[in-house]
Structure 1
């Protein structure tokens, strides 16, 4: 059985890569775990993720925190915020199929957009919390 964290990442990737609003905001399915050299802007990356034991006295379970990053070189925050909004709409409260696990819930926790230290890139951050159980 695959880990719950990896199954969740696969499901999130699939949902975002097949979501018309997200791919439109990105200009294509530019969603990466490992960014290719010279990737075209804007793009989204998987950031830090954590998995914690969320078991009860009788049932196993896991709590996940998943961070997605958006990178934009468009003037202002508008493009980064559009990508974040599309991803939030695609994922918040959705029931995604997970290999070997069941998604109990998936909720948007927060988002922000800020200018990166290079002075020309806008960096969007959005975080989700999920709970999973093994099948």
Structure 2
């Protein structure tokens, strides 16, 4: 299961880095799974990842639930626009999964809020993927 998660994370990172709009906003960092401080904003962070066995009698499979956080020092709108751009580039993920087949990748919901402690805005986008 972990390899499927890593393959999905790498494919998502590559898709973000290949998009001119996202590179202009984020720089070459793309998506990170490391601590935010110190970091320039806006930023995309791969947050919570949950992997479940989704195997059938015929093939092995993994259901992956992931949360991608879009952080902005500027506005909630900027964070939400980052999520929209990620959703756009994620449409081409099926071709980029090394060693696995992406059966489904779908956006489930986005919640945006102001993080008072950090003084930043964050949009938390939840995605579901099924990988074989």
TM-score of the superposed pair, with normalisation by structure 2: 0.87
C-alpha contact 1:69 1:126 (8 A) present in aligned 2 = yes
Offset from partner CA, 1:2-34 (integer Å, 9 cap, x none): 7111111111111112112222343x2332111
Can you give the 5+ residue segments of structure 1 that lack an aligned partner in the other structure?
A: none
1:107 matched residue in structure 2? 106
Partner of 2:63: 63
Equivalent pairs counted in the alignment come to 130
Q: Deviations over 1:74-117 (max 9, x none)?
A: 1x311111111111111147423222211111111111210003
What corresponds to 2:4 in structure 1?
Answer: 4
Q: What's the secondary structure of 1:12's corresponding residue?
A: helix
Contact (CA 8 Å) 2:11, 2:93: kept in 1 or not? no
Which residue pairs with 2:83 in the alignment? 84
**Aligned partner of residue 123 in structure 1, secondary structure:** strand
In the TM superposition, 1:24-35 aligns within 5 A as 24-26=24-26, 28-30=27-29, 31-35=31-35
Contact 1:93–1:106 at 8 Å: present in 2 too?
no
Q: Quick check: which one's helix share is greater?
A: 2
Q: Which runs of 4+ in 1 moved over 4 A?
A: none
RMSD: 1.9
Does the 8 A contact of 2:16 with 2:23 survive in 1?
A: yes
In the superposition, the TM-score normalised over structure 1's length comes to 0.86
Name structure 2 gaps, 5 residues minimum: none
